[in-house]
Copies of this chain bind each other. A is one copy, B any other.
Amino acid sequence: MIAYRSLRVALLGGGSVGAQVARLLLEEQEELALRVGAKLELIGIAVRDVNAERTVDLPRELFTTDAESLILGADVVIELMGGIEPARTLILQALGSGADVVTANKALIATHGPELFALAEQVGAQLNYEAAVGGAIPIIRPLRDSLAGDTVLRILGIVNGTTNFILDQMDSTGATLEDALATATALGYAEADPTADIGGYDAAQKAAILAGLAFHTSVPIDSVYREGITGITAEQIASAQKAGYVVKLLAVCERVTDPATGIEGVSARVHPAMVPRDHPLAAVRGANNAVFVEAESAGSLMFYGAGAGGVETASAVLGDLVSLGRRHVAGGPGLGESTHSELPILDISSVSTRYSVTLEVTDEPGVLAAIANVFAENGVSVELVEQSIQGDAGTATLVIGTHQAPEAALAATVDALSSNSVVTSVASVIRVEGAQRP
C-alpha cells in the first residue's frame, strides 16, 4: 500500500515534547503513512530561538521563528508551546485557515476551551487534546467517545505526577514534605518553582477539563475548588497509614445535589484526600497518574500510566495526529489501516519467557547437580531452586525458577527431565509474566 497523498504538519514549540514529536515524525514516517493512508510531512518547527540547544538532533532547516507563516501552509498544526499567548492566537489562526489542531496545552484548554471548540465546530475542523491530561494515558478519548452513551457519576483522578511522587515518598519513607520535595527536585520530578504542582494549580486545570468532558458542560477554571499539598505533614501521613489509608492529591469531579437548595449540578475540586489502601488508586505509586471513573452503566473503570515526560506525551500527540489524519483520507474510518503490517505470526516455540518448573525427584546426593545439568545442556539458565524434602518416600520436591528462555529450549528441557532417572515426575510447568525483563 502506497501513501497517496500528503498532510502538511506544522509544529509550534521545540521543547521536550516538541522535539520528541518531531523525531518520531521523521523516524516513523513510513509506518505512520501506512497507518494514516497519507504521508505526514513535517514542514517546520516554530521556536523562539532557532539556535537554542535541543534535546534531540533535528535538521536545522526545519526551524523557524515565523509561526504565522508556517501555519498558513499547514493542514495540521500541533501546538506544544504551552501557556495562553501566543498559543491561543495561533490556534485560532490555524482553525480559521481550515487546519486541524492537536494540542497538549492544559492551561489553554482549561481557560479558553469553549472559544476554541466553538471555532473548530463552526469551521468543521478537528481539535484534539489527549495529551493535555494524563500524558500518555488515553483518558480524553475514552471520556469523549467510549463513555459517550453512558452517564458519568464521578471521577477521582491522580493527575499530577510531582505531587504523587512526593506523597508516595512521604508514605513509603516517612519523610517530611520538605525532604520529599527536595528528593523530587533532585530527581527531576519537580521544577525549580514547584508552585503549580504542589499548590494544586496544574491538577485544577486538568479537573476543569475532565469535568467539562464528563458532564458535557463548560467548567470554568475558577469554579474549581483547589487545595494543594503544602499543609500535609508526616504526622498526617502516618496517622492515615495507621488507619488503613494513603494520602493522595485528588481531582474529584462529580454530580452533586446541593443539600440546601436541592439543585442538581456538577462540582470539580482538587485537594489532598485519604484513600483506602485497597482502592485501585492507592496502588498508583511514584510519578504515575491514574483516573478512576464511575459511570452509571459501565461501573468502575481505571486508566493508569505515566502522566508526563517528553516521549510519553509525544505518544499521545501522535495518536491524536494519526486519528485526525485518518479522517482526512477518503473512505473514512474503515479499519483497513489496521492490517497493513507484513509481520509474520510466530508460533509459541518462538516466544521467550520465564518458567517455574516443579519436579518430584528422588532424594539422594547428586540429584541437584544432575537436574541443573539438564537445564544447562538445553540452554535454559536457572535463577533459583527451592527444595522441600518430603516425609517418607525418599522423594523431594524441587521448584526451579528460570531466567528468560525460549519455549523450544524449555520444551526440550522438560522432555529430558521426564526421561531422567532421578526425576519421578514433572509436576507442573507454569510461565512467569510481568516481571522485569533483562
Taking Cβ atoms with an 8 Å cutoff, the residues of A that contact B are: 20, 24, 28, 31-32, 34-35, 114, 117-118, 120-122, 124-127, 130, 136-138, 141-142, 144-151, 156, 212-213, 215-220, 223, 225, 231, 233, 236, 239-240, 243, 245, 247, 250, 252, 254-260, 263-269, 271-276, 279-283, 292, 295, 297-306, 309, 311-312, 314-323, 326-327, 331-348, 350-352, 356, 358, 386, 399, 401, 406, 408-409, 428, 430-435
Contact = CB atoms under 8 A, between A and B. Distances in A.
A306 B302 contact: no
A299 B306 contact: yes
Contacts of A34: 216
A342 B247 CA distance: 34
Nearest to A264: B343
A305 B300 contact: yes
A164 B192 CA distance: 46
A297 B35 contact: no
Contacts of A327: 332-333
Contacts of A304: 280, 301-304
Contact of A225 (B212, B266, B348): B348
B148 A318 contact: yes
B303 A351 contact: no
B435 A273 contact: no
A121 B433 contact: no
A399 B222 CA distance: 32
Contact of A231 (B118, B318, B406, B428): B428
A254 B351 CA distance: 9
A59 B274 CA distance: 47
